[in-house]
Amino acid sequence: MGRNLLLNIADHGFSTAGYDKDLSKVEALRRESKERDVRGAAGITEIIALLRQPRAMVNGEPCVTWLGPGSAGHFVKMVHNGIEYGVMQLIAETYWTGANSNSGIA
């Protein structure tokens, strides 16, 4: 589930929800959340009910567009992967810089 991640996100003012097949982990999340806006779900239908549907809007219009009849999904996935790998590289380089400097960051 990533209980510590959920609690950390909640500490920064965001509401979160988590699900795990192991009910003891769900109960631990509920106990540890205290006054934070964190919800633990005991089942798939419960976690789905806790999540908002994504509805990003810009100027009153949905953030979608038609990319063509063939292989558009592959293009979108390629762009997504490029962004994701770039972010992972940035995290790795930031950690390396901190670990190999005298700043005491890492």
**DSSP string of 42-96?**
SSHHHHHHHSPPP--EETTEES-----SSSHHHHHHHHHHHHHHHHHHHHHHHHH
- Three-state DSSP state, 18: strand
Longest dimension (CA), the chain: 54
Average pLDDT of the residues in 62-66: 69
Task: For 14-48, write each residue's pLDDT tens digit.
Answer: 888 899 999 999 999 999 998 899 999 999 889 88
Average pLDDT of the residues in 65-84: 81
Cβ atoms of 16 and 9 within 8 Å: the answer is: yes
What pLDDT is stored for residue 1 in this prediction? 55
Question: How far, in Å, CA of 51 to CA of 56, rounded?
Answer: 14
Which amino acid makes up residue 67? L
pTM of the model: 0.48
